[in-house]
Amino acid sequence: MQRIETLGRHYGAFLTLCGTVAGALTFGVMCLVVANAVMRYGFNRPIAGTLELTEGALPFMIFLSLALTQFHGGHIKVVLLTQALSPALARAAKVFAMLLGAVLFAWAAYAGWLMAVKSFAMGELERGSIRFPIWPVKFAVFFGLMLLSIQFFLDAIYCALGGNLDEPSQEVTP
Amino acid sequence: MSSLLIGGIGVGGLFVLILLGVNVMVALGTVGALGLAAIVGTTGATAMLGTVFFDTTHSFHFSVIPLFLLMGFFAMRAGLGEDLFEATTRWFGNLRGGLAISTTLGAAAFGAASGSSVGTATVFTKLALPQMLSRGYDKSLASASIAIAGTLAVMIPPSALVVVYGILTDSSIGSLLIAGFIPGIVFAIILCGAIWITVWRKPELAPIEVQTFTLREKLSSLRLAGPLVLIIILIVSGLYLGIFTPTEAGGVGAFTTLILAVIRHRGFKGVELKKTLLETIQTSAMIFGILICALVFSKFLALSGVANTVGGYLVGLDVNRWVIVLLVSLIYLALGMMMDAPALLAITLPITHPVMMDLGFDPIWFGIYVVLLVEIGAVTPPVGINCFVVQSASEGRVKLEEVFKGLVPFVLAGFAMLILLCVFPQIALFLPETMR
Amino acid sequence: AGLAGEAAAETYKWITFKPQGAGDAQAVTTQWLVDEFAARTGGEHKIEVFWGGSVAKTREIPEALAAGVGDFGDVITPYFPDMMPLNNAVGFFIPQPMGTAEVGHFIENLHATYPEFKQELADHNLYAFGFRPLEAYGLLCTKPVNSLADMAGLRVRSYGFAYPKLIEAMGATPVSIATSETYEALQRSIVDCTPIGPALARGWKYDEVAKYYIEVPLGASFGHLLAMNLDSYNNMDAETQAVVDQLGRDYLVEYARVLDEDAARVRDLWTGDLGVEVIDFPVAELYDLIDDAGIQGVRAEWIEKANAAGLPADEIVKSLSFAE
Ligand code: NA
Ligand code: NA
């Protein structure tokens, strides 16, 4: 139990690092979008590649933070039935829920991997007002989905060993 | 097994998983992917999983979601909520129920700048709840007025939830954002009316304020509220006059609130930039996670034929189209008791949106109508996210039952607003139509 | 049992990004094709259409089709220059002299003459039975443009891989904008012009906010492949395959007819209520631009890929060049 907790903490620190990169990108995109609007109105010279760069950045922003959100227990779940279950059954339901997440996102990560490899093999390019390879963006999708699958798996083990995951009352939604 | 049967099993399976406490994103994705596999094989399902995650996020348009959220978080850091509450308290504080009314108006204005219903409810629970309770306000009235006021953030632009509707239905996001402006203000006024009627019937719920402010103090409070009002004008007029696109509105809004936050904290240190950015990206990731998994589910639903069949059934009913509106509303209110807003939109829109379009309703109008419906769901028990947030942010001052108990007049106010939107669709359509 | 060899009635799935109610040449002729298929197979087989991207959005269609999520689908070729470079031949050559029907027959001939074109699609488990070129494009602008000199400093909506260089060569600024955002971009002077033809300009309602159509002869572009999952095609009996292939050829004729009607109707509307002014453009100025290094660079890219695939590129591109 202690080992899985330590592992979980280290993994969480790594996810926070990924999230910080995503956060920095978000900040960068904000600056780019504002600068582009200012350059367009002020100087009739929009910044070439604003659209392509923003578009390319969003998957990084999302997929570098997806697992961190699960780490903090922020994905929406509903607890109606489980509250009425016996503790053992409730735990089993929780482990099942986490394993389902692990399997789904492992599947999705595998699918993302296939897509990224294909894109790399054909040297797929973003061809707009600026050009750059698109496959790193696709690998980011794969990477984020894999991180999320692992986080669900860790949560499942932690829960099966008797750990208590956060209840959803703290969650933030739009 | 026929596709239709597989679709039916999928819909049932989705609800079972959700009730079992599987998180909504995982439930939608699992049922969607397995359903696709059952209809077109695992290769097909894998191909869809491969493309949908990249395709949905590789988009300039959708970068508006993190930018709106960033704006809301910066607004909180800039203390815009506090300033606004202070200003509205000085003006309306000594009416009966005035503190609750000023909370509603403050939340409406703050919510205008923030795209987050829950965020607004959190801020005002921290700000207004202790004040109301210390002045003898009824716990139910105080907490419920905050929970419902949070929903105004979603009606008044900018709003992440409205963007979610736009993405799921391919509607013009610019028009949708503008469309929410007048309904948001009207709903704020109706909520104030509901508070006023409640305390008029039971004066003991809200003691009269003793502290009064001089005109000078009142006027000086306007200066506090000034920056926020400026930002709202900037965003709404920028969108309305076509100075910038929704994405740019998000960028400019976030940038401006960041500057205000920096000014307030005299430097970057107090802004807690890293923490703010981490909060923003996590909320964004959560919304996209739900959105994408909902798209997987909706692809499955489309391919199974269930969406067409249910939709066809509704359209084929030989009744007045407003009866269909009533049916659709009841479905949302029922499901809204159990689900929160983005998930609810994601699950239902693939079916309801084509039906409403077939019946000749305007996609922008339906967007505003349905957002109001799911926001009513955000306060109704047993799953009322806003109420959870108010309760947990109250640090033990109120119980969940007390929040729910106070909501009756506000849910009725929500129904009044729904009816108003049906009778006068122009409330939502006037601005987007003149924009064209 | 005992039914071997007898074709079972099949319902094929057609996945498309097109909304059913669009009512334009693409949507109308898709329905025509579906009806014809049922009629020509004597009601034996039919096609069920999943409209409006409900199953797969534009950029998902090739993958979805290849994996058998659908049996039929329309692939917007210019979105996949790296996946199917050869089939994108026309897209690398803007401007070029051919109109809609000519471009369609050009691609049809390439598929008939050089097996490399079919092979490129077969590598992705796809088969093209028909070709849907787009209409001939000009420039739709929010201000009058009478010559190349007027283009200087204008912001022009750009997409794909050939337009950025062409727009730069014109002395204008390319701005990348999604099709769905172009209406707002024109209205808000985020862009001044967009390359488009009359029918599509009406379809997207761009002509509500941009009132000058400049007859810059950019040529018809290609376009959409009417594609099938290769396995689904191979699993059809020879008779049904023949029906599909003939339908593909007939489709081009029917589509070109509907599109021409549509374009003529829109031009009528323009002179009437919509008040869109059509302006002639000194075409020689455009031809002179083609030697521009940027434009030639894009063309060389395709020629190189075609040569590498063992195709006589120089022979093929003759049709894509303006006669000197
Ligand atoms: Na808002
Ligand atoms: Na609820």
Domain membership of residue A28 (yes or no) is yes
pLDDT at residue C178 tops 80: no
**Model's pTM, two decimal places?**
0.83
Residues 6+ apart with CB under 8 A from C169: C289, C292, C294, C295
pLDDT computed for residue A75 by the predictor: 55
pLDDT at residue A77 tops 70: no
Interchain CB contacts (distance < 8 Å): A and B: 239
Shortest distance, CA A113 to any CA of chain B (angstroms): 8
Give per-residue pLDDT as tens, C244-273. Answer: 999 999 999 999 999 999 999 999 999 988
pLDDT computed for residue B435 by the predictor: 65
A166 touches chain B (CB under 8 A): no
Domain membership of residue A165 (yes or no) is no
Tokens 């100025």 — which residue? C285
Per-residue pLDDT tens digits of chain B, which is 436 residues long? 788 899 889 988 988 887 787 887 899 899 999 999 999 999 999 999 999 999 989 987 778 778 878 887 888 788 776 777 777 777 777 777 787 888 888 778 777 766 667 777 777 787 778 778 887 888 888 889 888 888 888 888 777 788 778 877 777 777 888 888 899 989 999 999 999 899 888 888 877 766 677 778 777 777 767 777 777 777 777 766 767 777 788 888 889 889 988 888 888 777 789 998 998 898 888 878 877 887 898 889 888 887 777 777 777 777 888 888 998 898 888 777 766 677 678 667 877 888 888 888 999 999 999 999 988 887 887 667 777 778 776 777 888 788 888 899 999 999 999 999 999 999 888 888 776 5
Which residues in C lie closer than 8 A to residue A124 (C-beta atoms)?
Answer: 82-83
User: Residues B344, B15: contact at Cβ < 8 Å?
Assistant: no
Helix, strand, or coil (residue C53)? coil
Q: Of B209, B251, B273, B220, which is closest to residue B83 (Cα–Cα)?
A: B220
C29 burial level (CB within 10 Å; 0-12, 13-18, 19+): buried
pLDDT computed for residue A153 by the predictor: 95
pLDDT computed for residue B113 by the predictor: 65
pLDDT at residue C108 tops 70: yes
Chains in contact with A, counting 3 or more C-beta pairs less than 8 Å apart as contact: B, C
Domain membership of residue A75 (yes or no) is yes
pLDDT computed for residue C1 by the predictor: 37
Q: Can you say whether the dihedral through the CA atoms of C180, C185, C187, C191 is positive or negative?
A: negative
B302 touches chain C (CB under 8 A): yes
Question: Residue B287 is encoded by which pair of tokens?
Answer: 């919304």
pLDDT computed for residue A173 by the predictor: 35
C53 touches chain B (CB under 8 A): yes
CA angle in degrees (0–180, nearest 5) for B322-B339-A79 = 150
Q: How far is the CA of B115 from the centre of ligand 1 (A)?
A: 4
Are C177 and A51 within 8 A, CB to CB?
yes
Q: What is the CA radius of gyration of chain C?
A: 20
Q: How many other CB atoms are there within 10 angstroms of residue B184's CB atom?
A: 24
Mean pLDDT (whole number) for A160-173: 58
Which residues in A lie closer than 8 A to residue C192 (C-beta atoms)?
Answer: none
Domain membership of residue A174 (yes or no) is no
Give per-residue pLDDT as tens, B298-332. Answer: 889 888 887 777 777 777 777 888 888 998 898 88
Q: How far is the CA of A93 from the centre of ligand 1 (A)?
A: 37
Q: Of B347, B288, B336, which is closest to residue B10 (Cα–Cα)?
A: B347
Tokens 């950029």 — which residue? C59
User: What part of A 50-79 touches C (C-beta under 8 Å)?
Assistant: 51-52
| Interface confidence (ipTM) of the complex | 0.89
Confidence of residue C229 (pLDDT cuts 50, 70, 90): very high
More confident residue, B381 or C148: C148
pLDDT computed for residue B339 by the predictor: 63
For B19, which DSSP code? H
Which residues in C lie closer than 8 A to residue B36 (C-beta atoms)?
Answer: 69
Domain membership of residue A119 (yes or no) is yes
pLDDT at residue C107 tops 70: yes
Distance CA(A37)–CA(B187), nearest Å, equals 33
Minimum Cα–Cα distance from A38: chain C residue: C190
Which residues in C lie closer than 8 A to residue B43 (C-beta atoms)?
Answer: 67-68
Give per-residue pLDDT as tens, B107-134. Answer: 787 777 666 677 777 777 877 787 788 8
Least distant ligand from the CA of B380: 2
Q: Of B16, B208, B247, which is closest to residue B93 (Cα–Cα)?
A: B208
DSSP A81-145: SGGGS-HHHHHHHHHHHHHHHHHHHHHHHHHHHHHHHHHHHTT-EEESSSEEESHHHHHHHHHHH
How many helices (H) and strands (E) chain C has is answered by: 13, 9
Distance CA(C255)–CA(B221), nearest Å, equals 66
Confidence of residue A172 (pLDDT cuts 50, 70, 90): very low
User: What part of B 384-403 touches A (C-beta under 8 Å)?
Assistant: 385, 388-389, 391-392
Shortest distance, CA A63 to any CA of chain C (angstroms): 19
Shortest distance, CA B253 to any CA of chain C (angstroms): 18
Ranges of each domain in chain B: 1-58+289-304, 59-271+305-433
Q: How far is the CA of B389 from the centre of ligand 2 (A)?
A: 13
Question: Residue C217 is encoded by which pair of tokens?
Answer: 């002869």
Highest mean pLDDT among B131-135, B174-178, C61-65, C207-211: C61-65
Q: How many domains is chain A built from?
A: 1
pLDDT at residue A170 tops 50: no
Which residues in B lie closer than 8 A to residue C180 (C-beta atoms)?
Answer: 61, 170
Q: How many other CB atoms are there within 10 angstroms of residue B162's CB atom?
A: 29
Confidence of residue C7 (pLDDT cuts 50, 70, 90): low
User: Residues C228, C245: contact at Cβ < 8 Å?
Assistant: no
Domain membership of residue A170 (yes or no) is no
User: Residues C107, C90: contact at Cβ < 8 Å?
Assistant: yes
User: Residues B169, B347: contact at Cβ < 8 Å?
Assistant: no
Give the Å distances, CA to CA, from B284 to A14, A64, A172, C187. 19, 11, 10, 30
Peptide bond into B246 cis (omega under 30): no
Are A128 and C155 within 8 A, CB to CB?
no
Closest CB to B21 among A33, A77, A108: A77
pLDDT computed for residue C323 by the predictor: 64
More confident residue, B398 or C12: C12
Interchain CB contacts (distance < 8 Å): A and C: 37
Are A122 and C83 within 8 A, CB to CB?
yes
Are A128 and C153 within 8 A, CB to CB?
no
Q: How far is the CA of A77 from the centre of ligand 2 (A)?
A: 13
pLDDT computed for residue A74 by the predictor: 58
Which residues in C lie closer than 8 A to residue A129 (C-beta atoms)?
Answer: 158, 164, 174-176
**CA B396 to chain CA mean position, Å:** 25
Are A58 and B392 within 8 A, CB to CB?
no
C166 burial level (CB within 10 Å; 0-12, 13-18, 19+): buried
pLDDT at residue C170 tops 90: yes
Shortest distance, CA A110 to any CA of chain C (angstroms): 15
pLDDT at residue A174 tops 50: no
User: Residues C69, B44: contact at Cβ < 8 Å?
Assistant: yes
Tokens 């597989």 — which residue? B6
Helix, strand, or coil (residue B327)? helix
pLDDT at residue C238 tops 50: yes
| Residue spans of alpha helices (H) in chain C | 25-40, 61-66, 100-113, 115-122, 148-151, 163-169, 182-187, 198-203, 230-234, 238-271, 283-289, 293-308, 313-317
For residue A133, the enclosing domain spans 2-160
**CA B339 to chain CA mean position, Å:** 13
C55 touches chain B (CB under 8 A): yes
C184 touches chain B (CB under 8 A): yes
B60 touches chain C (CB under 8 A): yes
